[in-house]
Amino acid sequence: MTHGNTIELHSLAIGYSNRHSVKTVAEGISDTIRSGELTCLLGENGAGKSTLLRTLSGFLPHLGGEITILGKPLSDYREKELATVIGVVLTEKTNLQNMTVTELVGMGRSPYTGFWGRLTDEDRRMVDEAMALVGIEALASRMVQTLSDGERQKVMIAKALAQKTPIIFLDEPTAFLDYPSKVEILHLLHRLSREMGKTIFLSTHDLELALQIADRLWLMARGSGVITGTPEDLALNGTLDRFFRRKGVAFEKQTGLYRIEPEYHSAVRLTGDEIACQMVRKALRRCGIDASAENDAPISIHAEPGRFVLREARGGEKVATSIAQLLEWL
């Protein structure tokens, strides 16, 4: 697989301008987005994720710098031409009625159809192919208004695939979805980038998932530009830890993931079976109790599957059969 640089940004400045004022959201963005990779754009609300996506899609003019797409400046593309290069999945909720899934996916063929927008057999084949790739063949004749949020999101992705563009931008495709659907959509996008060599660039708030699935991360913070790299590199050099540092959140370098870090108000000594210990530690952490074999605490717990022995300071001993029971005593 060749990883070509499909999108090249050179000291790009983005934001909004009108006759009276210019509001710069971010500047000095210089990086490349490559084909065959899934790139995730992370950053808190207001950091300018949508602005960046809208600028790269050609919806907003950029304030400075250069955007080169497939070797040609973005501003040199004509509307019709750009429609065959970039496909988008947006956050704006379409209020479509009386349109089947097949018809909606078929709209993705618009840049190629003639004056009346009639689909040829070839177009129809591509629509079927796009629906098969996303796995929504079963929805083909459903009306769009009867779909769930996750199904609708997949339909819009199929639309973008039917558009046959080398680049796909998605603005928060996982928002409003339940957890399994989020995983499914991101897996799907990752697969598409690998199998079809597409350049996929998406914004998301699902940090944990992005860390596991993205080939590259773009971290965007208000006023500090964009930092990019593989999730692993960003973890090793401490960027991720700095970037999302908050009270109560800790970045675990071992796993490369974030976990909730409460303030501990007491400690216990914990010994026993490894998995049982992990579960007890997790439950106690939630209650603000630090549990570890190294702790020199008056209270100790010996955990085995189905048997949790609690030894108190005064020598009392109680045996719980579940973690719930154990928590009640503590």
Q: Toward another protein, which CB reaches closer, 74 or 104?
A: 104
Inter-CA distances, 56 with 22, 50, 121, 156, 204, Å: 18, 10, 32, 19, 16
Least distance from another protein to the Cβ atom of residue 287, Å: 45
Question: CB-based burial of residue 69 (10 Å sphere; 0-12 exposed, 13-18 middle, 19+ buried)?
Answer: buried
175: contact with another protein by CB under 8 A? no
Answer yes or no whether residue 166 interacts with another protein by CB under 8 A. Answer: no
Give the one residue of 20, 79, 265, 294 binding another protein; rule: CB under 8 A.
Answer: 79
Least Å from the CB of residue 26 to another protein: 21
Q: CA nearest 105: which of 140, 74, 77?
A: 140
Q: Tokens in use for 250? A: 């800790």
Residue type, 51: T
- The minimum distance between CB 111 and another protein, in angstroms, equals 5
Q: How far apart are CA 103 and CA 117, in angstroms?
A: 11
Nearest distance, CB of residue 242 and another protein, angstroms = 34
Told to check if 70 binds another protein by CB under 8 A, we report no
Query: Helix-strand-coil percent breakdown of the chain, rounded to 5?
Result: 35, 30, 35
- Minimum gap (Å) between residue 303 Cβ and another protein: 51
Task: Find the part of the chain contacting another protein (CB under 8 A) among 137-145, 177-185, 306-314, 316-324.
Answer: 137-145
- Please, what's the b/e burial string for 189-199 (b: 16 or more CB within 10 A of its CB; e: otherwise)? bbebbeeebbb
CA–CA dist 13, 19 (Å, integer): 18
In the complex, what is the shortest distance from the CB of residue 176 to another protein, in angstroms, rounded to a whole number?
17
Short-list 177, 106, 94, 100, CA closest to 139: 100
Q: Which amino acid is at 101?
A: V
Site mask, another protein, residues 85-124, x = CB under 8 A?
Answer: -xxx-x-x-xxxxxxx--xx--xx-xx-x-xxxx------
Tell which one of 35, 51, 55, 57 touches another protein (CB under 8 A).
57
What residues from 251 to 290 belong to the interface with another protein (CB under 8 A)?
none
Which residue ranges make up the site for another protein (CB under 8 A)? Answer: 57-59, 79-80, 82-84, 86-88, 90, 92, 94-100, 103-104, 107-108, 110-111, 113, 115-118, 142-143, 145-146, 159, 163
